[in-house]
Amino acid sequence: MRNTNSFYITTPIYYVNDVPHIGHAYTTVAADVLARYWRLRGHDVFFLTGLDEHGQKVQQAAAKAGIDPQAHCDKLAPQFQELWKRLNISNDAFIRTTDAPHKSVVRRYLQDLFDRQLIYKADYTGWYCTFDERFWTEKDVVGGLCPDCKRPVEQLSEHNYFFKMGQYQDRLIDHIKQHPNFIRPESRRNEVLGFLQTQKLGDLSISRPKSRLSWGIELPFDQDCVTYVWFDALVNYASALEYLPKQPSFDRFWPASVHLVGKDILTTHAVYWSTMLMALNLPLPETIFAHGWWTVDGEKMSKSRGNVVDPNKMIDAFGADAFRYFLLREVPFGYDGDFSYTAMLGRNNSELADDLGNLLSRSLTMIERFANGIIPRSRINPSLGEKAGEVVARVHVHLDRLEFGKALEAIWELVQEANQYIDKTAPWKLAKKPEERAHLDEALLHLAAALKTLGVLLYPFMPSASKEILRQIGLTWEPSVFFPAAALNWDDLPGRTIAKGSSLFPRIEISSDAITLGLKEAASIQKTAPQEKGAPPVSDTSAVPQPVPATATTPAATTAAPAAAAPTPGDPAQITIDEFFKIQLKTAKVISAERVPKSEKLLKLQVSLGTEQRQIVAGIGKKYEPEALVGKMIVIVANLKPAKLMGIESQGMVLAAGDSEVRGLATILEDVEPGTKVK
């Protein structure tokens, strides 16, 4: 059993024939956040990712290119390794299933199971999907198509070796029931448990004849066969510990703390891998967490549609940290999510540029002007310590639960409170009064302390931005100072000389045409530093702070209109049919939902109308939890002039039933496309 102070995190190993897309980046960034977070807590961390390089698709692609399969893999592997470098992924090892030590471990495990009669040979006839490299039973196949990828299957009869997976069914059911965190989220746990409790688990074919597939690991007990790609691939989580980290490492890290996987490969991990480990007498991982899929503007990603999101282009356009932030802020981890360039732009300009970047810029500007660039000595305002401690505790809880979005939401409450603190204390006014010097110093130290806390809290999510925040307030990153002390100790701030730099997150101006084209033309992107909110201009250190002007150029962004006046009590006036038809009611799919800070009632929704994405602020927070709304098809007023609620722009109205309190949401029962007109 592994050391209690260790943390072992893995991603699935990605199939080498795939081009890295948003799904690969999503899983790997999430794993990186956990790795950085647990290192920050002082744990001994091992973070593994890598590539699955065997199988029929690789063999066919190499043959088509006229090269050896290994050369084919060697040519494609760097595209993943380079992307992880660009995304600041801190993996400790990168495994390839063509590594000789990995193949040796696979053969050893196979021989062990064969010697103990847990692998046997039998004839088999079944429907085979080349794309998924998987056999299906007669009842699984409908219309001659694979139930997963919908491609044609072919019937094959051959001699195969089988792993006695079925005999572990009851033991696996008991393990899932006794370990609530073994499969997460709970909906996926229920899914696997339901599958195991309602049908008999068969034995698993774990070989392929070389006459059909030669590109694989040869069985140690039959040189005419190679192992099934899943038996090969899943073993990577164990084999890596035998040769990639400094030895000895197996007992130090096994079993894995968290396996992160996409929901499409949950069965192979929760059932195949778990029963294999049981047969090998190895402890099962603590948690297998299956996250959802990404769509793009409401549509499934596919090469034929040309809508596959390229992480490299996102990094080129927005930077690695902004892309990392968006991936984990936009959608609750575990749910399906929808990507849109408009939403990415909105997060960058509003939350990163206007909120966080502006806080850093305006705070350092005032320390520069009112304290000669040196963080003053003063007492820390008690309210900061209370708020920062609360946020740190919540981040602890949320990251332990893999609730990345909620952790960032908590951090952003501190960002917003610090910005509000500037407006409330108005340091530019205190600077005009010598008798207020103590209050001015307290305010400036308060802001520097808030920035230090934010710099530490954001490190797992946005490592480069975090280090830059700390650098600009005169600190160097010290990973030897562990969480939470690193976030809540401000004793080293007074007397530090700040080093104000360039804008942390420049606002990005993108033409609507560029958004439609998916940012194919990087030249259409212009980055500008956000105008500082609240920092007085150079010519007048007593100036009153002004809000940042709205400069977003997304198709949905328009000038906010004042809220309509309340209707006069009494019977509503009748309207004509022509007046009614002026109202555009449309279906909208809720992509994400979150609470508006400091409001019990308001929720901020991101909704898809098919061709565009909108942000809507709705007063339904007392009735609904945000997570319960994701994926629902609701009805909105689509042509309502935008208005601001608690400073947040709302680009439409949600229809709900109720008088003084919301009693129910107007939803659509049938399966209709987002953006469909409601008549």
In the chain, the amino acid numbered 355 is D
Residue located via tokens 């009735």: 623
Q: For 276-280, 495-499, 641-645, which range has the lowest pLDDT when averaged over its residues?
A: 641-645
In the listed set 275, 292, 309, which residue is the last one of a domain according to the structure? 292
- Shared-domain flag, residues 373 and 447: yes
- Shared-domain flag, residues 86 and 178: yes
- Shared-domain flag, residues 171 and 278: yes
Would 473 be classed as within a structural domain? Answer: yes
Cα distance between residue 611 and residue 523, in whole Å: 24
Convert the pLDDT of each residue in 639-653 to its tens digit: 888 888 887 889 999
Q: Which two tokens stand for residue 445?
A: 């130290």
Query: What H or E segment, with its residue span, contains residue 219?
Result: strand 218-219
Collapse the DSSP code of 396 into the 3-class scheme (helix H, G, I; strand E, B; otherwise coil) and give the result.
Answer: helix
Has residue 172 got a pLDDT over 80? yes
- The pLDDT score that the predictor gives to residue 547 is 32
pLDDT band at 38 (very low <50, low <70, confident <90, very high): very high
Average pLDDT, the chain: 87
- Shared-domain flag, residues 96 and 24: yes
What mean pLDDT comes out for the span 505-520? 61
Answer whether 347's CB lies under 8 Å from 412's CB.
no
- The pLDDT score that the predictor gives to residue 78 is 96
Provide the 8-state DSSP code for 543: P
Answer whether 451's CB lies under 8 Å from 468's CB.
no
Q: For 83-97, 338-352, 527-541, which range has the lowest pLDDT when averaged over its residues?
A: 527-541
Cα distance between residue 557 and residue 300, in whole Å: 25
Give the relative orientation of helices 311-318 and 69-86 as an angle to the nearest 10 degrees.
30
- Shared-domain flag, residues 582 and 514: no
- The pLDDT score that the predictor gives to residue 240 is 98
In the listed set 528, 559, 592, which residue is the last one of a domain according to the structure? 528
Convert the pLDDT of each residue in 174-193 to its tens digit: 999 999 999 999 999 999 99
Residue % of the chain over a pLDDT of 70: 88
- Shared-domain flag, residues 38 and 106: yes
What mean pLDDT comes out for the span 138-164? 86
- The pLDDT score that the predictor gives to residue 660 is 64
Domain count of the fold of the chain:
3
Would 91 be classed as within a structural domain? Answer: yes
- The pLDDT score that the predictor gives to residue 376 is 97
Answer whether 608's CB lies under 8 Å from 556's CB.
no
**Cα dihedral: 241, 245, 251, 253 (round 10):** -80
What mean pLDDT comes out for the span 538-556? 32
What mean pLDDT comes out for the span 144-165? 87
Q: For 60-69, 486-495, 499-508, 575-584, which range has the lowest pLDDT when averaged over its residues?
A: 575-584
Range of the domain at 461: 347-528
Convert the pLDDT of each residue in 518-528 to its tens digit: 444 444 456 66
Strands 207-209 and 183-184 come out as: unpaired
- Shared-domain flag, residues 257 and 147: yes
Answer whether 48's CB lies under 8 Å from 95's CB.
yes
Would 411 be classed as within a structural domain? Answer: yes
- The pLDDT score that the predictor gives to residue 17 is 85
- Shared-domain flag, residues 371 and 230: no
Collapse the DSSP code of 85 into the 3-class scheme (helix H, G, I; strand E, B; otherwise coil) and give the result.
Answer: helix
Residue % of the chain over a pLDDT of 90: 62
Would 115 be classed as within a structural domain? Answer: yes
Would 181 be classed as within a structural domain? Answer: yes
What mean pLDDT comes out for the span 85-112? 98
Answer whether 451's CB lies under 8 Å from 363's CB.
yes
- The pLDDT score that the predictor gives to residue 483 is 76
Collapse the DSSP code of 278 into the 3-class scheme (helix H, G, I; strand E, B; otherwise coil) and give the result.
Answer: helix
In the listed set 501, 528, 555, which residue is the last one of a domain according to the structure? 528
Give 126's contacts (C-beta < 8 A, 6+ positions apart). Answer: 135, 136, 137, 155, 156
Which range, 134-143, 212-221, 519-528, is most confident?
212-221
Would 550 be classed as within a structural domain? Answer: no
Give φ, ψ of 429 to 5 degrees.
-80, -40
- Shared-domain flag, residues 522 and 584: no
Would 318 be classed as within a structural domain? Answer: no
Convert the pLDDT of each residue in 439-475 to its tens digit: 999 999 999 999 999 999 999 999 999 999 999 999 9
The pTM is what?
0.77
**If we measure between CA atoms, which residue out of 28, 36, 3, 39 comes closest to residue 254?**
3
Has residue 387 got a pLDDT over 60? yes
Collapse the DSSP code of 450 into the 3-class scheme (helix H, G, I; strand E, B; otherwise coil) and give the result.
Answer: helix
DSSP β-bridge partners for residue 645: 648
- Shared-domain flag, residues 510 and 446: yes
- Shared-domain flag, residues 380 and 503: yes
Could you please report the per-residue DSSP string of 460-500?
Answer: TT-HHHHHHHHHHTT----TTS-TTHHHH--TT-TTPBP--
Question: What is the domain-level CATH number for residue 244?
Answer: 3.40.50.620
Q: Which two tokens stand for residue 62?
A: 């190499």
Has residue 628 got a pLDDT over 80? no
Would 474 be classed as within a structural domain? Answer: yes
Question: What is the domain-level CATH number for residue 619?
Answer: 2.40.50.140
- Shared-domain flag, residues 524 and 585: no
